Amino acid sequence: MGSVYKPPDSVVVNRIQRAFPSDELRERARATNLIQRERKLDVVALFYTLSLGFA
């Protein structure tokens, strides 16, 4: 059987970052009152951890 193509990690990361831009995630977090000011919690890291960490 043929091998399955696996893109390099950088390609995967770039596609995820284009799909979910950091600025937009921060803007939506403020708009929905998830965060009111940025301190120790990085909403982008939280999003990626919760959404992609289950895989």
Residue 1 lies in a domain: no
Residue 2 lies in a domain: no
Q: What is the pLDDT at residue 34? A: 82
Residue 3 lies in a domain: no
Residue 4 lies in a domain: no
Q: What is the pLDDT at residue 1? A: 61
Characterize 18-55 residue by residue with b for buried, 16 or more Cβ atoms within 10 angstroms of its Cβ, and e for exposed: eeeeeeebbeebeeeeeeeeeeeeebbeebbeeeeeee
What is the total count of domains within the chain? 1
Q: Which domain holds residue 26?
A: 9-52
Residue 30 lies in a domain: yes
Residue 41 lies in a domain: yes
Mean pLDDT per 10-residue interval, the chain, length 55 residues: 82 90 92 80 88 78
Residue 15 lies in a domain: yes
Residue 13 lies in a domain: yes
